[in-house]
Each structure stands twice: as C-alpha cells, then as structure tokens.
Homo-oligomer: A and B are copies of this chain.
Amino acid sequence: MKVLMVYAHPEPQSLNGSLKNLAVETLRQEVHEVQVSDLYAMHWKAVADEADFTALQHPERLNYSGESRHALHSGTQAPDIAAEQAKLLWADAVIFQFPLWWFSVPAILKGWFERVYAYGFGYGVGQHGGGRWGDRYGEGTLKGRRALLSITMGGREPQYGPRGVNGPIDELLFPIQHGTLYYPGMEVLPPFLVYESRGIDAAAYDQLAQAYRERLRRLFTDETLPYRMQNGGDYDERQVLKDTVAPGAEGFSAHLRGGNSPATQQIPAITPYAVTLEPA
C-alpha cells in the first residue's frame, strides 16, 4: 500500500522528527511505499493568496475559492499545490505528524490544507442543490483513503480528559478529524497521542516507539471512527440530524454512530500512549 506522511516540525532532531523517521522506517519494513511531505524542509508556503494561481480569472478582486475552482480545472494551480494533490490521490493512507500548538495544527500545516484542498478537490465536490450539499463527510475526492493524526502535546493527559481544563482531546480534534479529514472522504483512525512530550527520556521513547510501531502495523486494519455519512440517511435536507437519529443528542458526539452517550465514550479503540514521567 501507499502512505503519504505530512510532517510539520521545524527541528529534525525533535520528538516529532524521530516519530516521522520511525514511521517511514516501519512502514517500509511492512513493504509499503512511503512519500514524505516535510513542510518545513520544503519551505511550504503557508498563506493562501493570489500567488496560488498562475493565471487569475478576475485579477481586479480576488475570490480565492472561485480562482481555486478555475485553476484546478484549467491546470493553472501553483505547482506545489498540484504536487500535493497528486500525492493525496496516490496514497492509500495519510499520516499527519505534528505538535499540537494552540489546540490545533501548526500554521504551516493549516496552510497546507487551505491551499491543497482546492475548490473541486477538497470541497465543492458533487451535486449541490435539490436537498443535496455535495459529496462530503464520508464521500468526496479522498474517499477510500485512511488518515491518522500523530500528535505530540506538552500538557498532561488529565488536562485533556472529559473534565480537564483544556477540554477533551477528542473534541479538540473534531474540527480536524471530522471537519478536515472526513470532509473530503477520508476514514479517520483514532489518533496516536503523546502527552508530556518534554519529559520523554530514552526509556520512555523506547516504549513510545513500540506502541507507535504497533499502531502503524495496524494502519490498514484498525477500525476507523464511526462518523455518520452526510448522504447516508441520518441528516435531513438542511444537513441537520433527523429527529429519529440519536434523539436529543447534541454536539460533536452526535455525529458518531452509536447513540447519544458523551463523545469520549463513543470513540472506540483509542489507544493513545500517555507518558506519565515528571517533567525534566
């Protein structure tokens, strides 16, 4: 199988760099093909602007999504955007390796999504109108692919728990996992999470590496998060859950099949690796 790794960290000798290298090595041992988009090393352009199009349809006033749609179809996207789209289409699975900064992806990775997910590629796909709002949330250009977030965090696990001060990690990741990965059709694996990243010594890293290798070996067999398909019958014409679906449930967790229990109870088989060392 083919795996794309999208990696966002400025320091090759970092924990993120080590986990990226470990993944590449492990996946190649498993006889997968691997490509790496090392965003910092590539000097990835993070900011979406008019330079993303080699020819502007309406230079007098930038309509980014309009130009994006036109450029995708006319072959006038910036070459770096087209290259990343080709990698996504090539891949059977995509792994994102990054540190959680301000409870989201680093800006360089955010800009990767904004630019690579062109109109007609990442969104604006399929029929719109007549009660249909496109092929998204389980359908779309990237359907059939798997996605995995591998994330390091400075904070401790309890702070990301159901009642922890930061909010539950599964809710913090919903805009990324559901809103950005599942949106164009990827099936999302439970994330691989490393807490207290600053406290990891050699012994902890060995444990961590073993846990991650095991997850990577199950990349194509682990169950994915049971998000509801937009066009699968659970949503009405407004794209709101039908009254008969998870009656009374509200919030992110309602978009997981399995009823109306809290989100943290509905995500199966999350096996994060939590380091519990004292900070150095």
A contact set with B: CB distance below 8 Å: 10-11, 13-14, 40, 44, 46-50, 61-65, 101-108, 110-111, 113-114, 117, 133, 137, 154, 156, 158-159, 161-168, 171-172, 174-175, 178-180, 183, 230, 235, 238-241, 249-255, 262-264
Q: For residue A84, give the distance in angstroms from its CB to the closest CB of chain B.
A: 14
A64-B99 Cα distance, complex, nearest whole Å = 12
Q: For residue A218, give the distance in angstroms from its CB to the closest CB of chain B.
A: 28
Most chain B CB atoms below 10 A, which of A48, A183, A251, A263: A251
A110-B174 Cα distance, complex, nearest whole Å = 17
In the complex where A47-B108, A163-B250 touch, is A171 in contact with B168 (Cβ < 8 A)?
A: no
| Contact between chains at B240 and A111 (CB < 8 Å) | no
| Contact between chains at A241 and B163 (CB < 8 Å) | yes
A114-B254 Cα distance, complex, nearest whole Å = 31
Q: For residue A51, give the distance in angstroms from its CB to the closest CB of chain B.
A: 10
| Contact between chains at B251 and A168 (CB < 8 Å) | yes
Among B48, B65, B108, B263, the residue within 8 A (CB) of A106 is: B48
In the complex where A13-B61, A117-B102 touch, is A163 in contact with B110 (Cβ < 8 A)?
A: no
Nearest opposing residue in chain B for A111, CB measure: B107
Among B11, B163, B165, B255, the residue within 8 A (CB) of A167 is: B255
Contacts of A180 in B (CB 8 A): 102-103
Contacts of A117 in B (CB 8 A): 102
| Contact between chains at A49 and B101 (CB < 8 Å) | no
In the complex where A11-B61, A63-B11, A171-B171 touch, is A114 in contact with B137 (Cβ < 8 A)?
A: no
| Contact between chains at A104 and B108 (CB < 8 Å) | no
| Contact between chains at A159 and B262 (CB < 8 Å) | no
Q: For residue A137, give the distance in angstroms from its CB to the closest CB of chain B.
A: 6
Nearest opposing residue in chain B for A167, CB measure: B252
Q: For residue A151, give the distance in angstroms from its CB to the closest CB of chain B.
A: 13
In the complex where A167-B255, A240-B161, A262-B251 touch, is A179 in contact with B102 (Cβ < 8 A)?
A: yes
Among B46, B49, B50, B166, the residue within 8 A (CB) of A111 is: B46
Q: For residue A123, give the distance in angstroms from its CB to the closest CB of chain B.
A: 9
| Contact between chains at B104 and A162 (CB < 8 Å) | no
| Contact between chains at B61 and A107 (CB < 8 Å) | no
A174-B114 Cα distance, complex, nearest whole Å = 20
Q: For residue A250, give the distance in angstroms from its CB to the closest CB of chain B.
A: 4
